Each structure stands twice: as structure tokens, then as C-alpha cells.
Amino acid sequence: MRVLLLHPDDAFCGSWIAQRWDSVVDLGRAPRSFYDECSARLGIPVFSIFDLAREVQDLQIWRGLLELGMGRVMDRFGIDWWDVVGLLLQPELQDVRLALRLAEKLSGCRTLVASRPSMIADAMQLQLGIPLEVLHRGVGKRLVASVLRRGRAAANLSLAQLRQVIFDKYDPRYGWRKKIARLPRRSSEPVVLLPTAYSNVTKTALSYARVLPEQRFLLVLARESGEVSPVPGNVQTANLAAFATGKGDREELQTLEVRWKQMEQSLREHPEFRLPIQIGILKKGPRWLRWGLPVRDAWNQVFETRSVVGCLSADDSNPYTRIPLLLARQRGIPAVACHHGALDCRMAFKKLQFSNYLAKGEMERDYLERICGVDAGRIQVGATPAPPRENPSLWSERAPWIVFFTEPYETDLWRVEAIYREVLPRLCAAARKSGKRVVLKVHPFESARQRRRLVKRILSKEDQKLVNVTDALLSREILQKTWCAVTVESTVAFECASAGIPAFLCGWLRHAYAGYAPQYARFDVGQMLESPDDLLRIPGTLRAAIPALDTASRLVQAISPPALSALLCQPPSGLR
């Protein structure tokens, strides 16, 4: 058996097609129809490695596995760096599990070929015990391809996005930014810390700050892209770069690196970690330590120089916003977590490092308990109050738009053009039938410019006239013009359901592991579509998809100011 592993960066065309294969395995993802067409064209089985994923089950296994490394790489502040870095490595560790399943499926393979080097290809080679041939191994070709790919990516970024990329890559320890950052005015006034690294996290944190106008908050931006405006009057803003110490403890770093290697040796004895360690996944740990310690020291300076009485993190997975939560907990300060999106699948395997978790409503609470196994006693149901409006529903039959709320599919290794070729023509047909227009509302991580080029490339001129692309922020005005929403599992489905707007979920494109779309459907957040042709039936099924009157009350239950103040400003009972 001769098998090709096709890298996500390589297209289903090129010189490899002329060779004989018994099977082609895509290391990226595409709709089922895409692989059916490729299989028919090539006359061999073509499928994605993600077809082997087990939704939800593959999440739930990791809490116990990650627990095996806990307590071995502790720093002087009590932070467990496996707890921080393990979350970053988990996606690659899960990829190895997929590689093991693929190796079992292809046990008769005698010739394994990869279109280019990859971690999955290395894992397959070791597991099968056969040689690996790489088609594009040449350093020169890979360098040219890398330059071209990065050039295309940079061309799609705004100046602000490009600046952030440069800072992330070349100034991770705040050496440059510290020189231009200003420390905020010193004050002994008690503040609740709001750490952030992204605008969506900031917006969620600020929405809670507005609930307590008499309480002072300190919003600290770990990355410039976390900045938003306006900011409530009770919130002071600062850049984490201003708190950077500029000096690291080299002896501590060396000690932690030794502890990391010892942990790695210990985990090697466990069968789930043996192959990941062989291919070097855990060797990335020391690099993250070298980045993380200066970030930790900057956050520690925030606690040392400000009277922090509580910490609210709207993303306790990202190291930038997890580290301050860990420091707060070590100091006996209320450490409260929530999530800026509708659901967070990583709660299934994260160590719970908070005193309380704020769930927006019953849907999120049910997901946390039933899917993620979070102790009910750690969950407090309490969203921020929505602005009052006379009519709880914003939906109107006369609304002009079918809005496709897109997502940054590239981050999940999707072949993006295949998705758009499957979805957009059908949405145009549904819009034409119902007298509406199609609006492509791009995710903040996407480029509207690039998506416009994609629309022009895949749609007929007649269909192009029906489509508009916008990167405007989601607003009441956009929702009022939305006749129906179409998405995969974006948080926008949650927001539409709360506003009485029907949403349709492209269930066949959902995340390989998270289980978001089934949870949405369970709580009437959207109607699940099982195939692309279901999009054509939207005009006839729209009425049935309108959310029930009590949907909003199950999704969002507002927290009272006294209850929020008690969570954020009073130490947990065991620490008083």
C-alpha cells in the first residue's frame, strides 16, 4: 500500500497527482463533498485525518492525562508551568492521537510519502516503523514557499494587525514596548484587575465593570490588540509593557528547565506521551518558559504596585490572561474566570484555577457540567445585563439580509475555499428565492479584503451582485437587518437567538472535538443543518427556526451588582 499524507499548505493538484497512490490522506480539513470529488477524480480513497476524531470524547480524556505532569515544574510564585504550557501543547498532543488511529487504519502501508515535513508524518513513520519519503524536502523550495505564504498573509493584514504580529514575534518580552509605555498614575485605591490580550476579551471584561460603577477596575493590556474604546469611567487602562522589569532571573530559568526535562523523562513512561516526546513536542516547553517568565514578572509588578482586591479573566486559557489569574489565587485574592464566547471546550481538560466561574446562562452551565465535568459548586450563573429594549425580538420579516457569519477556518486547518464554494452559491440561491441579499460578516481574525477576492473567484457575476462583505463590528443595526443568520458554531448564533433572530448551523462543518453546535441545538440557539443542500431549504424552514420566547432567558441570566461585588471583592471563604 502506497499512501500520501497531504499537508494543509499543499493543494490537491501538482506533480504528485501523476504518481500512483492507494490512498491520499489530507492533514487538513474540507467538506465531505470535496473528498468525494477528489476520490472520483483520482480513482482512490481520499479522506481527512480529522474524520478519525471523536467529538467530545477526545476532549474529555485530556484532563486526566495532563494531570500526570502537574506539580513538577513549579516556580517561586507557586505557578505550575506545565499547567500553563500544557494547554498550548494539547492540540499537538491530540494530533498524535489522530496519527495513531490513522496508523492503525493504514497498518498494511509499506510506502509512506508526505508532501512536506510535518509532526503527524513523523509520528506515522515511527508508529508504522517504515521509511518516510518527503516530496518537498528541499530547504530552498520550502523557504521560497514560506516567504510567499507570509507575504500573502501580510498583504491581508491592516497596519494595526501587522504591527501586533511584529511585536508578538520580535518583542515578546516587552524590550521595545517598555521604552514607550507609560505607567499609569500610582494609587492606593483598591482595584479589580482585568487582564486582556484580545479585543473580545476586553469587551467582556468591561461589560462586567459597567455593572459596578462605584468599583474601580484596572484594565491591563498584554497586547495592543486588546485595546477598545470607549472605556467606562470607573476603568483605568495600562499596558503590561509598562510593568515589565527588563531583567530575568537566569538561575530560576535554568532550574525550571531542569525540572521540565525531569518531568519529560517521567512522562515518557506513560504510553500516551511516549510518541509525542519522541517527536519533540515537549521539547518546546523551555522556549515557552523563556517567554513566560518575563510576562509573569510583569504581571507580578502589577500586583506589587497596585492594590488589587480581585481578578476577573475572560480567557483563562491564553497564558497572557491565565498567569495573572494564577498569581491572584496564590495571593488569596478572588480569582474569577468567565469566557468571552458562548462556550469554551478547553474547560474539559483545564485545571480549574479560579475561585468561581461566571456562566452566562443555563446553556453554558449545562455544557460546563455535562460535557466538561466542572464541579457545579464552582459555577455561578451570571451574565452582564443586556441593554433594555421594548421588544425582546429584533427580528422582522422585512429584514433584507441573510448573514453568513464566518469564522477563521484556517485556525482549524480547513481548506477555506472549499467551504465557500459549498456554502455561498447555495446561500445566493436561497436569497434570490426569498428576495434577500447575502452579507458575509467576517470574523475579526479574518481579512475582508481577502474574502472579497475569494467571493469574486468562486461566484458567478450574477451571484456576486447579491453578495456584500463587511468587517464592521457586530451591532444592533446589523442584527435588525438580519432576516436569518448562517454560521457553523460562532458565538453570534448565541447573540442572534438572544435577539429572537433565527440561526442555521452548518453542522457538517463543525469543530472536530468541541461539541458546540449540538449544544446550541439542544438549547434552541440554532437549527442544525446536516448537509449543504439544507441551505437551499432555508426560505421554507425559517419560521420553524425562530427561537422560542423563553430562549433568551435560558441563555442569559444577568448577575446583580451585589452578587458580582461579592465574587470579585471578597476573598474565598477558605482564604479569609
User: Mean of the pLDDT values across residues 198-222?
Assistant: 96
Encoded amino acid at 59, one letter: L
Tell me how far apart the terminal alpha carbons of the chain are, to the nearest angstrom: 66
Are 199 and 329 in the same domain?
yes
Are 91 and 122 in the same domain?
no
| Contact present, 403 and 485 (Cβ < 8 Å) | yes
Are 138 and 214 in the same domain?
no
What's the Cα-to-Cα distance from 428 to each of 283, 323, 438, 530, 537, rounded to whole Å? 49, 46, 6, 19, 12
pLDDT tens for 43-91 read 999 999 999 999 999 999 999 999 999 999 999 999 999 999 999 999 9
User: Mean of the pLDDT values across residues 133-149?
Assistant: 59
- CATH classification at residue 290: 3.40.50
pLDDT at 268: 94
Q: Where are the alpha helices (DSSP H) in 210-318?
A: 250-267, 271-278, 285-305
Q: Which residue has the higher pLDDT, 392 or 264?
A: 264
Domain stops at, among 389, 417, 440: 389
pLDDT at 570: 80
Q: Tell me the backbone φ, ψ of residue 24, rounded to 5 degrees.
A: -125, 125
b/e sequence 294-309, b meaning 16+ C-beta within 10 Å: bbbbbbbbbbeebebb
pLDDT(148) > 50: no
3-class state of residue 201 by DSSP? helix
pLDDT at 543: 93
Q: Which residue has the higher pLDDT, 210 or 150?
A: 210
Are 229 and 366 in the same domain?
yes
pLDDT(265) > 80: yes
pLDDT(156) > 90: no
pLDDT(151) > 60: no
Tell me, yes or no, whether 237 lies in a domain.
yes
User: Mean of the pLDDT values across residues 126-130?
Assistant: 95
Q: In DSSP terms, which residues pair with 263 in a beta bridge?
A: none
Domain that residue 72 falls in: 55-97+185-389
Tell me, yes or no, whether 175 lies in a domain.
no
Are 419 and 479 in the same domain?
yes
pLDDT at 155: 55
For cell 483545564, name the residue: 350
Helices 416-434 and 538-545: crossing angle, nearest 10°?
Answer: 90
pLDDT class for 175, splitting at 50, 70, 90? confident
Tell me, yes or no, whether 560 lies in a domain.
no
b/e sequence 47-78, b meaning 16+ C-beta within 10 Å: bbbbbbbeebebbbebbebbebbeebbebeee
pLDDT at 138: 55
Are 456 and 519 in the same domain?
yes
Lowest-pLDDT range of 12-16, 120-124, 325-329: 12-16
pLDDT(292) > 90: yes
pLDDT at 248: 76
pLDDT class for 161, splitting at 50, 70, 90? confident
pLDDT at 576: 42
Mean pLDDT for all residues in the chain: 92
Tell me, yes or no, whether 114 lies in a domain.
yes
- CATH classification at residue 473: 3.40.50.2000
pLDDT at 480: 95
Are 240 and 122 in the same domain?
no
Q: Which residue has the higher pLDDT, 441 or 168?
A: 441
pLDDT at 157: 63
Count of domains for the chain: 3
Which residues are CB-neighbours of 140 under 8 A, at least 6 positions away? none
What does pTM read for this prediction?
0.91
Are 215 and 280 in the same domain?
yes
Are 224 and 326 in the same domain?
yes
Q: Tell me the backbone φ, ψ of residue 358, rounded to 5 degrees.
A: -90, 110
Are 122 and 2 in the same domain?
yes
pLDDT class for 137, splitting at 50, 70, 90? low
pLDDT tens for 300-357 read 999 999 999 999 999 999 999 999 999 999 999 999 999 999 999 999 999 999 999 9
Are 86 and 131 in the same domain?
no
3-class state of residue 24 by DSSP? strand
pLDDT(571) > 80: no
Beta strands across the sheet bearing 437-441: 467-470, 437-441, 401-405, 482-487, 503-506, 527-529
Are 46 and 76 in the same domain?
no
Tell me, yes or no, whether 244 lies in a domain.
yes
Lowest-pLDDT range of 248-252, 429-433, 541-545: 248-252
pLDDT tens for 186-198 read 778 999 999 999 9
Distance CA 127, CA 394 (A): 55
pLDDT class for 144, splitting at 50, 70, 90? very low
